[in-house]
Amino acid sequence: MNIDEMWAQEQRRLIRLLRKATSREWVELNRPAIKNLALMSAQLECQATKLADESLALVEEYDNGGGQTGKRESPEYKAYEALYRTYQSGMKHLLSAMPKAEAEKAADQPKSMLAIIQGKKRFG
């Protein structure tokens, strides 16, 4: 799957999930942010695949020409980390912009399998 297909698929997935949690109007208002987050997600997936295949090195050797040599994080890995932080920040911002009633409703959802099991015991 190429990055454009991954991007489109992620946009559809995010919109579908957010429409379940909020109103259609809220999703449309935040569509530019959703579009950008979906692109970042697709790019991260591509880079993660490269990392897993070891075609993208985490560390590389350098020689600055002045006799100084060593190892450093590869620029590609630094770019991956920066994109990941930006994605996390954007997702956090998008979710924090959800209407309060929806955020409270989401907060009431079980956080773990144990919470689900305990909830069944309490509610029958």
Q: What is the DSSP letter of 74?
A: -
Q: Is residue 8 part of a domain?
A: yes
75-90: per-residue pLDDT in tens? Answer: 888 888 999 999 999 9
22-51: per-residue pLDDT in tens? Answer: 889 999 999 999 999 999 999 999 988 887
Q: Is residue 76 part of a domain?
A: no
Q: Is residue 75 part of a domain?
A: no
Q: Is residue 64 part of a domain?
A: no
Q: Let me know: does 17 contact 63? Beta carbons within 8 Å.
A: no
3-state secondary structure of 116: helix
The answer, yes or no, to whether residue 113 has pLDDT greater than 60, is no
- How many structural domains comprise the chain? 1
Range of the domain at 90: 3-56+83-123
Q: Is residue 25 part of a domain?
A: yes
Q: Is residue 90 part of a domain?
A: yes
Q: Let me know: does 72 contact 59? Beta carbons within 8 Å.
A: yes
Q: Let me know: does 57 contact 77? Beta carbons within 8 Å.
A: yes
Share of the chain above pLDDT 70, in %: 78
**b/e 39-70 (16+ beta carbons within 10 angstroms → b):** bbbbbbeebeeeeeeeebeeeeeeeeeeeeee
Name the residue among 22, 41, 23, 43 with its Cα closest to residue 33. 41
The answer, yes or no, to whether residue 61 has pLDDT greater than 50, is yes
Q: What is the pLDDT, as a whole number, of residue 119?
A: 59
